[in-house]
Amino acid sequence: MPHSLWLKAAGTAAAVTLATATAAHAAPPAQSTAAKNTAAVVTLRYDDSRAGGWEAAITAGVASWNQNVGNVRLIEAAPGTRAEIQIVATSGWPQATLGPVRPGGQVRVELGSQAVSQGHDKTRIAAHEIGHSLGLPDTKPGPCSQLMSGSSAGTSCRNAVPNATERARVNSAYASGSASLTPADGRILVETP
For the annotated catalytic residues, the residue numbers are 129
Nearest by Cα to 105 from 61, 139, 135, 125? 135
Task: State the virtual CA torsion across 167, 173, 174, 180 in degrees, nearest 10.
Answer: 180
Q: Please give the C-alpha separations between residue 163 and each of 2, 115, 182, in angstroms, as whole numbers.
A: 78, 22, 23
Nearest by Cα to 54 from 4, 127, 108, 107? 127
Q: Beta-carbon neighbour count of residue 8 at 10 Å?
A: 11
Q: Which amino acid is at 88?
A: V
